[in-house]
Structures are given as C-alpha cells and as structure tokens.
C-alpha cells in the first residue's frame, strides 16, 4: 500500500494487502479502497455479485464456496506483502432474529464463521476484521462467536469487539452491528464515533431526489425505481400520515386481518410505515423496496423507497454500478445485493481504524 496515495494523505504504511471474504457486491471492500488500501481479491459464492464488485473496485472477484477456500489459496492471493488483512462478514442468517430456532437446529453444515476461524488459524494474517449482526453475541446464540474469539486468542491476537449503532458513524440508518478487530501486532480498537450529536437524516440523503410514482423508473436514473403497489396498498400508503406515519392511522377497512389478532399486534406500526425526514432510516434489508416489509414508505410520496434511495442509505456513492449497461434490472436481485451489503462508510471506518493501528505499530 506504500505506493498508493490514500484519500486523506496519511503517512506511508508498509506493503499491506487485503482479502474480503463473503464480499458480496463490495460495500466493505469499497470502504477500504476509498481509504487507499490494496484489496487484492473478494471471495463470494454468488456469481451475480461479480460485475458490481469488479467494476467498482478494480480488483478480482473469486466465485467460490467458503467451504472450499484454503489457506494456501488465500496466501497465493496475498503474495509477497508485509501485512495481510483478512476481512469478512460471514452470512448472518442463522443468528438473525427473523429466523426460527428450528432453522438453527437444522443447520447441518459448518457455520461460515467457523470456517473463517479455521482459515485464520491456518495462515495467521496480521490483522482480521469481521462485521456481523448483533445477535451473534446474544445468550443462547453465542457459542459459535465464543469459539471464534477463542481461536483468535490461541493464535496471539489482541481483540476488540463492540456492538455499534452505525448512525453514530454517519450512516443514515439505524443499523446495529457487531464489529470485531483483531491484530497480532498489538492492541487495536475501532475509532471513536463521529456523529453522536448530529445524525445524517433521511432528508439529508434523499430529500433532493426527483419524485417518482410507484411502479415508475426515473428516465435519467434506472436505479431510481419504485415497486408497483397493488390498489389496496396504494390506498393504504395514501392513508398513512406523512413523515413517520404508520398503519395505526388506517380506517378499519384497510387494516390487515393478521394485525387485528392478538399475535399480530406487535407488528402494527412497524410495517407499512413511512420514514421520518428528520431521523436516520430504519435498517436496510434485502426487501427494503417493498412497502409491507418494514417501515420503508417514503416520507411524503405514496410509494416505498426506490433502489437508488436504498443504495444511498447504505452509503454507496451515486456512481456505484450494480448492473451492466443495457441489462434488464431485476429489482429482487439488486435489492438483495444492496440489503446484504456492509455500508460503505462502515467499511471506511474499519479501514481508518486499521490504518491508525498500523501507523502506531510501525
């Protein structure tokens, strides 16, 4: 990395190379690239991520199941360098609150995080970073995480981890995530929050975008497209008060039958709601383009948020390309890519923290 100029003109560092496991379309990688790191490869089983990953980050996408990745393969990609940084966001589905205990019990394959730990123990990269859902540390679900920590300790790593609210670092959404940093070079920690007193809001991010209707695509921005609403859902969003309103304001004829039952009361107000202009958005998910999938209604326009708006909430820059020119856009696929991504700004925060650590270590 010494030959590359970093974005903030920090002092030159030793030759550092990064590999991103579970890279997706490159949210984490792009954060590192913007901080001047040399990311030599991203690895993911989803081939549909290749175009976005390689086009925006000018590096190699390796389509491979993590189960088949070996330490030898990783070291071959690292090549001759002074510092190896291995980063990754292991798929979090088994630990998500949206999944059932039955699904966790039915998992017969090794957890991706366990494989991640095996690779670390095998090649002992100088620095490791992981981003994951906060539920990974919760009681009853933390066995795999404790094993991961134990592997790091046994291999000489100093470890930092914490659950952060990404909005405290300038991400315009309420997104709680577990961030882990580990180093064989000495103590390491995440940089201090930058936006605890001044959050980036929905208005800050999408307030100047041109208005569109549900089912419409903006002619100058194919990613600025909103899902078509059914006639019933159109009446529902029209009946939802602007700027933070929810289904509690609907007349009885518009209410969902499941929400009228005792078991569905906890969902009232949390789905089919509008975002607040003056607050960060809710957490982006793989289905954030759907009105009934959360509080994903536009603050004032009668529609769910567009794919462009979702990408901006994930702090992808406007120039980030998710699909080849002239290719048909599949909302479900792009929505999954955006929702699964690590926000680019969190990638930058982690990269800056590692950069500060390396400057102190050398």
Alpha carbon distance 61, 71 (integer Å): 17
Q: Which of 357, 266, 286, 224 is nearest to 48 (CA)?
A: 286
pLDDT in tens, 91-133: 755 444 444 444 444 444 567 999 999 999 999 999 999 999 9
CATH of domain 202-340: 3.90.120.10
pLDDT value at position 271?
82
pLDDT in tens, 319-353: 999 999 988 899 999 999 999 999 999 999 999 99
**Average pLDDT rounded to a whole number, residues 245-257:** 89
pLDDT value at position 259?
60
pLDDT in tens, 216-241: 999 999 999 999 999 999 999 999 99
CB atoms within 10 A of CB 338: 29
CATH 3.40.50.150 fits 16-197+343-361, yes or no: yes
Task: Say if CB 289 and CB 226 are below 8 A apart.
Answer: yes
Write out the catalytic residue numbers: 92
Instruction: Supply the DSSP symbol for 276.
Output: P
The pTM (predicted TM-score) of the whole model is 0.90
Domain spans of the chain, in order of start: 16-197+343-361, 202-340
């Amino acid at each position: 990395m010494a030959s590359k100029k970093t974005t903030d003109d920090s002092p030159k560092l030793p030759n550092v190379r990064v590999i991103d496991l579970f890279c997706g379309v490159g949210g984490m990688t792009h954060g590192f690239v913007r901080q001047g790191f040399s990311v030599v490869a991203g690895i993911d089983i989803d081939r549909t991520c290749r175009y976005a990953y390689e086009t925006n980050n000018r590096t190699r996408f390796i389509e491979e199941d993590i189960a088949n990745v070996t330490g030898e393969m990783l070291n071959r990609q690292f090549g001759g360098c002074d510092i190896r940084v291995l980063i990754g966001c292991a798929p979090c589905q088994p630990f998500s609150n949206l999944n059932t205990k039955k699904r966790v019990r039915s998992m017969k394959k090794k957890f991706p995080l366990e494989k991640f730990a095996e690779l670390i123990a095998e090649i002992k990269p100088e620095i490791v970073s992981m981003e994951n859902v906060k539920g990974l540390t919760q009681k009853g679900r933390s066995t795999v995480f404790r094993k991961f920590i134990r592997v790091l300790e046994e291999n000489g790593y100093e470890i930092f981890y914490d659950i952060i609210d990404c909005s405290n670092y300038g991400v315009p959404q309420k997104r709680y995530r577990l961030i882990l940093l580990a180093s064989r070079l000495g103590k390491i920690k995440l940089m201090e929050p930058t936006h605890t007193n001044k959050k980036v809001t929905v208005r800050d991010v999408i307030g100047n975008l041109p208005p569109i209707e549900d089912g419409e695509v903006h002619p100058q921005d194919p990613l600025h497209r909103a899902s078509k609403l059914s006639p019933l859902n159109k009446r529902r969003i029209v009946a939802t008060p602007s700027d933070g309103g929810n289904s509690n304001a609907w007349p009885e004829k518009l209410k969902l039958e499941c929400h009228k039952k005792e078991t569905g009361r906890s969902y009232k107000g949390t789905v089919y709601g509008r975002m607040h202009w003056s607050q960060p958005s809710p957490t982006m998910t793989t289905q954030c383009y759907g009105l009934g999938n959360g509080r994903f209604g536009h603050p004032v326009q009668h529609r769910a948020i567009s794919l462009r708006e979702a990408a901006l909430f994930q702090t992808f820059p406007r120039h980030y390309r998710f699909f080849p020119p002239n290719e048909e856009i599949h909302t479900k696929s792009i929505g999954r890519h955006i929702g699964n991504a690590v926000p680019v700004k969190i990638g930058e925060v982690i990269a800056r923290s590692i950069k500060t650590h390396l400057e102190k270590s050398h």
